[in-house]
Amino acid sequence: MKRKPSKRSPSPKRPRGDLIYGRNGVREALRAGRRHFHELYLAQGVKPNPVIRDIQDLARQRKLPVHPIDRRVLDSWLEGANHQGVMLRAGAYPYAEREAMLRRAEARREPPFLLLLDRVQDPQNLGSLFRAAEAFGVHGVILTKHRAAHITPAVVNASAGAVEHLRVGMVANLVQEMNALKDAGVWIAGLEAREDALGLDEVDLSGPLAVVVGSEGFGLSRLVAETCDWLVQLPMRGRIHSLNAAVAGAIFLFWAMQARRTETLDGRAATPPSGRT
């Protein structure tokens, strides 16, 4: 006996490309306009709100096709991620070179302010660090190619779309990149919880600066730590003496932003251990 054909239509094939999801991530990607965009998907019955209306307006301005779609199809395509009824099919993220970051600082008439990430592997931490970097005025972020998280739709979502506004580079050798930044006049401050590290109030973070944050659980690698001009630790008063990479990095970036706004730290700048002048 032949089986009757199912009345359920097959699920549409998953589109190719970067599938950016989440309302803030999609809106900021469209606002930044740094990628090539293909089409926008909105779940059927999605309730309009200011963010959804922004997304629709931006899609209209960019003349993007907008497809209503069953929410269950989005669930399938995005493997259960919290897409909030919105998905944008886009091209690859446009990674940047160091020179573009330095030019951005020059265009803003500010000393360079960079964030370097040494093997940060957790996508949520990476997204949170991008969000803090964008909020506190960082000109560029440099990632390592190996043993590290890279920019994926999950990271875009975790950053609430902030990464779309940043200049982010990826390098095979972070130590070489640090030395190139030194040659460009940038000072390197590594965040490291160790007894011989300086306090935040002992270093001058107001000039050309690159902040280095290490991996979760391991901190900075030995060569990266040795290449830093300063190793700096956050003050702790409680019984818990460590923070995750995203929280610690955000505090460090905020402190550096404040120092750059005031330009001095009451003359308490420390002499770098490397003896640079």
Residues contacting residue 45 through CB under 8 Å, at least 6 positions apart: 71
| Pair 125, 247: CB distance under 8 Å | no
- Read off the pLDDT of residues 138-155 as tens digits, 9 standing for 90 and up: 999 999 999 999 999 999
In the three-class reduction of DSSP (H, G, I as helix; E, B as strand; rest coil), residue 267 is classed as coil
Res 264: pLDDT: 38
- What integer is the mean pLDDT of 120-129? 96
Please tell me the distance from the alpha carbon of residue 72 to that of residue 268, in angstroms, as a whole number. Answer: 59
As to burial, measured by CB atoms within 10 angstroms (0-12 exposed, 13-18 middle, 19+ buried), residue 157 is: buried
Beta bridge partners of 142: 116, 169
Of residues 216 and 66, the one with the higher pLDDT is: 66
Query: Residue 240: is its pLDDT beyond 80?
Result: no
Q: What is the mean pLDDT of residues 126-147?
A: 97
Residue 111 confidence (pLDDT) above 50: yes
Q: Give this prediction's pTM.
A: 0.89
For residue 96, pLDDT over 90 is answered with yes
For the stretch 3-57, pLDDT in tens is 554 445 556 889 999 999 999 999 999 999 999 999 999 999 999 999 999 999 9
The predicted pLDDT at position 276 comes to 64
For the ranges 112-116, 209-213, 242-246, the lowest mean pLDDT is seen at: 242-246
Answer yes or no: are the C-beta atoms of 121 and 129 closer than 8 Å: no
Rg (CA), the chain: 22
The whole-number pLDDT of residue 196 equals: 84
Two tokens, residue 17: 């490309």
Of 261, 38, 253, the closest CA to residue 162 belongs to 253
Task: Give the tokens for residue 131.
Answer: 């969000």
pLDDT of residue 194: 82
- Kindly state the average pLDDT of the residues 109-125: 96
Q: Where are the alpha helices (DSSP H) in 70-173?
A: 71-77, 98-107, 123-135, 153-158
Domains in the chain, CATH or no CATH each:
18-90 (3.30.1330.30), 98-262 (3.40.1280.10)
The model's pLDDT over 175-194, given as tens digits with 9 standing for 90+, comes to: 999 999 999 999 999 999 88
